[in-house]
Structures are given as C-alpha cells and as structure tokens.
Amino acid sequence: METRPYPWPEGKRAAALISIDVDADTPLLWRHRAAPTPLLSEWEQRQYGLRDGIPRLLALLARHEVKASFFVPGAVAARQPELLPRLLREGHEVGLHGYLHEAAAQITEAEFAEALGRSIGLFQRQTGRRPAGFRAPGWELTRGMLAEIGAAGLYDSSLAGYDHPYTIQGVTELPISWNREDTARFKLTGVSDRVPASPLHVLEEWLFDWEASAEAGALFTLTLHDWVSTRPAPLKVLDRLLTRLREDKTAWIATGEAIAAHDRGLPEEERRRVSL
C-alpha cells in the first residue's frame, strides 16, 4: 500500500481537469446503427451542444481563463470540420473519444484499433497535429484496447484505479470519477420516474468533492457533456465551481495533456505504476 502524496507542480496541493465529452448524437447513432430510429426527441436534445451550448461554454471558460480538454468522436469532427480548429485556437485541448462512440463490449479489439487509427488520421488532417489523449466511450476498455492506446502514444482518461495520475500497462492514466460526471445527475431523454438532480444540490456536491480532493492531494476530473452541462442551469453550476477553483491558489487547473506530461516527467521513483 502507498501513502506518499502525489507531487503536483509548483507546490500545488491538487489538480483540476475540466473535460467535456462532445458526444452530440453519436451514442444514439451507435445504438441504432442497424436500423436508424425515426424518433426525434433524444436526437434533437443531442444537437443542443453544437448549436448553442459549446459557444456558451467557450465564453464561460474564457471569462474564467480556464483551458479545458474536449474529447470528440471522429464522426462529430468529420461533420463539424471547424470544431477542432476552433477549440485549439481558443487554447483548449482536443482528444479522441472513439469514432462513433463505439461501446467496448460490442466491438472487437481489431475494430477498436481501426476506429482509433481513423480518428487519429482525421484529427491530424483537421488540426495539423497528433492528439495527445483518449477517453473511452462509457469509460470502458479491454486490456487489448488499452494496449492499442499505448501503442499510439496516447494518455488515457477512462479508468479509476487511483485518484491521481498513474501508469497502467505502460499508459499514462488520468483517473475519472462517477461522482463528478454530469449525465448521472442531469440526463433525461424520455418519460421516466427519475427526476434530474437539482443544480444547486450538484453544485454543493461538487464543491464538497473539490474540498475533499484538495485535502487528499487528488486529481479532480470533472466530466461534462456538450448537450447536458451547457444548458443554462448546469452551466451556472460550472460558473460557480470555476469561481471556487480559481480562488483556491493551491489548485493547478490544467488540461489533460499538461497533466499527463507532468506525470511522465516525474522521477521514476515518484511515479505510480500498475500492471494487469
């Protein structure tokens, strides 16, 4: 068992990664790939981010002077060729998120490798640079898929074996948390007995989570979605959360690419490694 504190840069006690999965309608298209659904409700909900949500989010991030990591399925980038260049121009990171938001349990490792290579090529053509990071759709991977990520020289942000960066099977991992994910709180795509969480309660939850993460010296990875947390009330939650993070001078707010580079640059004895 390890109890050593994780060494963040510049004397910071914890780090925060603001990440956005720009799924748009790709999960819906994947689920109905055999027979497209004629139903419009969820499809229209999922257009919100690309229409109004992302511009509002970018304005908010600019006001707080925060750089985020956007994980974008290849199919979204292909249909929105201006998206990746705009995100990069505004100082944000763009990372991979499958091609059509493929579910790991429903594809082979060879199909995963093909989608990964296809997405990397698309990103390079649109941006002139190779992406640094990957996030698995649904945060699910196999050992073989993780090996493909490593072979491509990417960091990953899909697993949660530590609450700070670590290396698993040779891949730099930036851990996630279901406690800091928006769809579990705000997503509702049809008639249900479930009621979405109160934005005020979510704000209280995430502020408390940051306090606990900071005390533990952890990585606070916030995972938002383009069509969920860019609506007015959830966006206000992010506004207040960023205000708190910016006030905390012990917080290092950075992109996944910067955090992964920091971890890789640590002395070997400071890095956490696990094997499968």
Closest to 23 in 3D by CA, of 63, 83, 110, 92:
83
Percentage of residues in the chain having pLDDT higher than 70: 98
Whole-angstrom distance, CA of residue 72 vs CA of residue 75: 8
Closest to 173 in 3D by CA, of 138, 211, 223, 136:
136
Q: Is the pLDDT of residue 195 over 90?
A: no
Confidence at 41, pLDDT banded by 50, 70, 90: very high
Q: How confident is the model over 79-128, as pLDDT tens digits?
A: 999 999 999 999 999 999 999 999 999 999 999 999 999 999 999 999 99
Report the 3 state secondary structure along 231-276.
CHHHHHHHHHHHHHHHHCCCEEECCHHHHHHHHHCCCHHHCCEECC
pLDDT at 191: 65
Backbone angles phi, psi at 102, to 5 degrees: -65, 135
pLDDT at 148: 99
Q: Is the pLDDT of residue 233 over 80?
A: yes
The better pLDDT of the pair 1, 166 is held by: 166
Q: How confident is the model over 258-271, as pLDDT tens digits?
A: 999 999 999 999 99
Q: Is the pLDDT of residue 4 over 90?
A: no
Mean pLDDT value of segment 43-52: 96
Percentage of residues in the chain having pLDDT higher than 90: 93
Confidence at 188, pLDDT banded by 50, 70, 90: confident
pLDDT at 37: 85
Q: How confident is the model over 206-217, as pLDDT tens digits?
A: 999 999 999 999
pLDDT at 272: 94
Asked if residue 235 lies in contact with residue 58, where contact means CB atoms within 8 angstroms, the answer is no
pLDDT at 3: 72
pLDDT at 262: 99
Confidence at 38, pLDDT banded by 50, 70, 90: confident
pLDDT at 1: 61
Q: Domain 13-267 class?
A: alpha beta
- The tokens describing 188, both together, are 């509702």
